[in-house]
Structures are given as C-alpha cells and as structure tokens.
Copies of this chain bind each other. A is one copy, B any other.
C-alpha cells in the first residue's frame, strides 16, 4: 500500500511543503541521502501549538506537534522526489528538539509522535536512528522541531 494511502486511512493529509522561515532551503540531496531542514509544527501559516512542554503544551499536544513536523518534512521530501513518497527507501535519522520546562525529561515520549508516524507509514523502512533533546527555546516559540534524513 502506498504511503499516501496509509496517510489517507489515518485521516491525515500532507500539507503544502512549508517554505523556510529564513535564508535556507527546504531540503538538499547529497548522494542517495535527502537532508530535510528542521521542521516546525506549521499547520498552514500558523503553528499548531506554541509554548513549552509540559506546561503550556501537554504531552498529547506535543506528540501531535511532532507528528505535524514529520508531515511537513514528508511534504518537502515528496516535492523533492517528483511527487512520489514511495521513493523513500529508508528513514535514516530523526533529530527531535523539544522546547522543555526545566524539570521535563520525557522528550522521548514527545519524539515518539514523530517516530511512530514514520514506522506506521513506512513499516520496517521507517525504523530510524534518533536523537531526542530538550532545549529552552525554539524558533517562533514552537514546542517541537524535527529534522529528517532519508535515503531515496
């Protein structure tokens, strides 16, 4: 089943590929790797959520934000891959940054919002290496930023 069919079954749709918020590009190919810039949880022109986890943003919202970052990254990958997400052969790595309160240490659970979506969409090929980190502040007060490397 195609990746987009699975998205459809999950009730999810790919957004328009977000434009960079500054002087860089959405993605770069080098060899058979596609490096996708750090994605914020944009839904259209505004962020799905703003603030720190877990006070302003609870775990469920944070996981949804991480998922939205992945959808945005995949929209970019799709544009780069001639419109065909099934050309992704392997999800290689996710870097997940969580805008965290000083006492919050459950970044892995937030990052699972991103990781579980990848595995659901790509199956075995969606299983990736990951680093999940807690930071004080992210651009635009986003609760999560996710960068992707995929093989295509």
- A16–chain B nearest beta-carbon distance, Å: 18
One of B33, B103, B111, B129 near A22 (C-beta < 8 A): B111
Which residues 27-58 of A have a CB within 8 angstroms of B?
27-28, 30-33, 35-38
Contact of A133 among B28, B103, B111, B145 (CB under 8 A): B145
- Which positions 114-152 of chain A face chain B at CB distance < 8 Å? 115-116, 119, 127-141, 145, 147, 149, 151
Kindly state whether residue A105 has any CB partner on chain B within 8 Å.
yes
A14 touches B (CB below 8 Å): no
Q: Given contacts A30-B33, A151-B30, are A38 and B139 in contact (CB under 8 A)?
A: no
A90 touching B30 in the complex, CB below 8 Å, given contacts A36-B129, A109-B22? yes
- Contact call B38/A132, Cβ cutoff below 8 A: yes
**Which residues on the B side are within 8 Å of A133 (C-beta)?**
38, 97, 135, 138, 145
The listed residue (B100, B101, B147) touching A131 by CB distance below 8 A is B147
How many chain copies does the complex carry?
A: 3
Once A100-B136, A106-B139, A136-B136 are accepted as A-B contacts, the answer to whether A22 and B128 lie under 8 Å apart by CB is no
Q: Decide: A108 and B21 in contact? CB cutoff 8 A.
A: yes
Q: Is the CB of B25 within 8 A of A131?
A: no
Asked if A23 is at the interface (CB within 8 A of a chain B CB), the reply is yes
Whole-angstrom CA separation of A111 from B116 in the bound complex: 30
